[in-house]
Structure 1
Amino acid sequence: MLISLDLSDNFLSGEIPELIIKLKNLEILHLFSNNLSGKIPVALSTLPHLQVLQLWSNKLSGEIPNDLGKHNNLTVLDLSTNFLSGRIPEGLCSSGNLFKLILFSNSLEGEIPKSLSACKSLRRIRLQENGLFGELPSEFTKLPLVYFLDISANKLLGRIDSRKWEMPSLQMLSLARNSFLGGLPDSFGSDNLENLDLSHNQFSGAIPDKFGRLSDLMQLNLSKNKLSGEIPDDLSSCEKLVSLDLSQNKLSGQIPASFSEMPVLGQLDLSHNELSGEVPANLGKEESLVQVNISHNHFHGGLPSTGAFLAINASAVTGNNLCSGDKTSGLPPCRRMKSPLWWFYVACSLGALVLLALAAFGFVFISGKRNSELKRVENEDGTWELLFFNSKVSKSIAIEDIIISMKEENLISRGKKGASYKGKSITNNTQFILKKTNDVNSIPPSEVAELGKLQHPNVVKLFGLCRSNKGTYVVHEYIDGKKLSEVLRNLSWERRQQIAIGIAKALRFLHCYCSTTVLVGYMSPEKIIIDGKDEPHLIASLPGLLCVDDTKCFISSAYAAPETRETKDISERSDMYGFGLVLIELLTGKCPADAEFGEHGSIVKWARYCYSDCHLDVWIDPMIRGNASINQNEMVETMNLALQCTATEPTARPCANEVSKTLESALKTSSCVLGLKFPSSLF
């Protein structure tokens, strides 16, 4: 009696046979990530026990069977990334248990079925990148459990402010790239919104002040609309806001001075509006702000002398009446008022230059860009240079501290790429880690400095780079803890959940909110440090610094994505593959490098097999198996996510933003899978 069939992530081609109608007891069918073509068999509509149907990332065409869902017990339906056309069937939620509906990246058309408005079990809806048209059904904005709703890149229209939004669980909402018009609603019925994207529409009127009450909001995109009026000062109350894009509207007035106090704001785009006045002098004083665009407005006066505006790209400030003291901005120099005491200031300046010249034999001088500081000293080993990315750290660590740290008693590990040492400042006991790395001369200094500016609680801070004739070394913060590989087997399921969410947050920050692409390269337990509070700290890097730890690089790494083993094509998607492996390891306790997977050959193939055909007790880590409080649905959902992350085809893997939201939502609620009854073979 076959109840679960998983042939996903292979090279299957041809059509799905109609003979599948004979599998009357089938509950789970996974055929995703293949090369299957033709139509979805109508026979699938007749399988009475079918709950989970995942056919994503194939070449399927034609219409979705009209009766799909009417005679099934569907809970999960994912047909995304195919060539499907026609309308979305009305009966998909006939079971009353459908909680995940994923149909994005097809050619579906027609209106969103009104029947979905009555599907109160829905939690996750992704219909983006299709040809859907018409207005939103009247009750579609009152689904109580939906936490993720993406209907972007369609042809939807109408007003959204004339309806009532009652979606208390909503965390992510994207209506981008449609034809919605009218004003913006004051609320979407949720205090949990983290990501709101209403860009590329025809919204008009003012930005609601009440958006400032969204205390969990991390990303707000209202660009390419017809919004007018002033930017609400209340937006600065969104203390978790990382990315704010209000570009290409008709906004007027000044930049709220309170924006200077936003603690984690990293990206701010106000370009192509009608804003005026002076740029707030303190804007960019927070180190988090790394990317600003205020071009094509009516600003006047000088640019702030804060880090965000030092060496800013000329295209980000053009189209205004601004001046600057930095030549790289492309702006004219700011004129200084003449004073009767000009000769006194000249004399003082000359005196200062003389003093600087006399001090030239010293080893400290400050570079003028992005708060970086360079120290240089000569000793018996030759010339040592230490480039800092933070002035506070520069005052704490001296080159002598670096040199002293490279002693055997401070050795942490030794690998093919060099040794790692633990160091400590003589003056104030600041601790750091020193690791030898490959040559970074080919990387633009601005990109290296960008890595040094990263500020996230789950990302290890890079203090600086040190060069000498002995090589190049990375200096990063010391975390009082142990590698995940050293503590994993002793962790409870709850602690493993916390670690998984923390790593996902770090990846989301690196991939989505940094102005320069920052990668991990190999997402492995060796690159994750767990502190005393079970918080993970990820060691990240730029493409040229991917071997800052002692793990083997590229081909020989057990955590390398398939595409990196031959092409060395490191990308965000390869990071996600490594994260999927870490999730599998957190669940099973098994290491991808272990040679214990028999005929399956790899941990991924073994996990896919176990997920579909094994008792849960077979693949779950024995160290957490006996915990009576464990929610098995959480584990099944987490393993499902891990297998998506480890898809062979990179484009089939979810992005960091999606993974983070899925993990947080799935693991926060013990009933995430609702009425889903997995077959007994899974437990």
Structure 2
Amino acid sequence: MGSVVVVVLWVVMALFCYVVVSEPLQDKQALLDFLSKIPHENRVQWNSSVSVCSWVGVECDANNSFVYSLRLPGVGLVGEIPPNTLSRLSQLRVLSLRSNRLSGQIPQDLSQLKLIRNLYLQNNDFSGVLPTSITELPRLTRLDVSNNKLSGNVPFLLNNLTHLTGLFLEKNNFSGSLPNLHIATLQNFNVSYNNLNGSIPETLGKLFSADSFRGNLDLCGYPLPSCNNSFFPTPTPAPSTIISPPESPFKESHKKLSKPAIIAISVACSLILLVLLLLILFLCLHRRKSAGPAKPPKPVIPRGSAATAGVGDTGTSSSKDDIGAGSAEAERNKLVFLDAGIYSFDLEDLLRASAEVLGKGSVGTSYKAVLEEGTTVVVKRLKDVVVTKREFEVQMEGLGKVKHENIVPLRAFYYSKDEKLLVYDFMPAGSLSALLHGSRGSGRTPLDWDNRMKIALSAARGLAHLHVAGKVVHGNIKASNILLRTDLEACVSDFGLNPLFGTSTPPNRVAGYRAPEVMETRKSTFKSDVYSFGVLLLELLTGKAPNQASLGEEGIDLPRWVQSVVREEWTAEVFDVELMRFQNIEEEMVQLLQIAMACVSTVPDQRPGIQEVVRMIEDMNRAETDDGLRQSSDDPSKGSDGQTPPQGSRTPLSGGLTP
């Protein structure tokens, strides 16, 4: 019996010793060296007396034999990454240091992490070039260095990363031409808002949308505007394309002609003109002499004669064809105005205007057109319209009646077999997308909290008027469709266009804003608009674009990313770093975050109506006024016509944010 007890005790002690020593001591020391050498806030408190596998942000493999993942997003790391620290984690698969204040160059010794798959360094202050050592990581699948200050060329050696599925280089200072990347596995790619120039390689242009390349002023080629400056450009010329009048084939010579040459040319032209006139006169006289006497009129055939049936029908048909052809020609050049007296130009004036591409969206391309008399408008050239002319006209006339101070009015439209154009007012302050996600380098003026609240409230008012007074589903709510006046009041644009395109393409085509049910039904509703508006509120709060797949380590969408961060009790890390400089707004940010999360509920019936969203935001402003913080806004539930939307059912907000 005693021997059995001894054996049991020996086994227990062996197991205890195994548990004690079953942790990667070398990895533990590397992480302790890293933390001791880099300035940081107190959010990371690793206890050396416990297993490294239990530390915050550290994940080990199933046997606790090596550190598998290191995730330290937004924990207050400052300065340069100490050399010979993280590079010693030889078995590391995931490294996330995003949303800190790391600076200096990206360490060359990261090339020692031969097994790493996901590397996330976005939203820091890294500078210098993207080290070529990064291209020596054979298993790398996702690389995100967006929102830094990296410069130099985009390395051609990125082609060595043959397993890469996501590459995010946006919002840096990369320059030069874009290399031709032939990575068969690449699914997500973004180089927007850099200083790149030249033409987009054909392989990349075919795979990715304009959002992946915009913000590079000297970058051109499909899917951006072509590398010429023609008005209404198209990839291939076609006779139906609306373009500016062709240039004269006679080009002005750079050398001035002498006076004798000018006189000789004038005399020669005069003689040629005189000969032509004499020839025309001779032909007219000859034709008159050769023409015989006028033929007598045919006898009138009485009605009812069988012989008249064919002649009469043919004559009537021919007459209708002639009239129809003339009417069609006149109608083809008709620009239909929905507001008499607002503008006084016609289609020819519009085609002569100088044009600048503002952007390519899911429904077409928008141009800023400056007419000869100085009027500036926005022309949207629609693509993939499937409805008939009558259906198009009825839809446009209905949209033209929607008037509100927070809605961009539709002023005119044009329909022909080959072209469909819409004319809107020009908004000089641009879009919310450009204001919020433009270059965040030095010299940028951050969008403060008061203006973000103003934009949220005014955009909600515009959308509420669409839903309640206009009975119109927007169908494509996104930041680029929220245009701004000079006082930063928001105006909703591009509304009600989805019925023009049928059901072959899902409405609200930017996936980051699309409600879950739209993927299945392919139909936008008032509730799906509310979901998209909720994503827009999250965009205002986080400063992150929802159509960037780099929000989370696995490319999750913006609502799910916010939920995951809140679930880890790092709620403060949700908010845009540019808002951190403003004082006493934390409670308001959380309140707006609660409203946004109610809007993005996955169950449509659990989302509030947009008029209820307006009232909740208004209540925030009213509370601020009661506290003496800022003036109250006007009643957001009333449109410019004074109409008050009907009272909706109030959707309660839970105290927490986790779904």
> What TM-score does the superposition give when structure 2 sets the normalisation length?
0.41
**TM-score, normalising length: structure 1:** 0.40
Determine which structure has the larger strand proportion and give its number. Answer: 1
Q: Which has the higher helix share?
A: 2
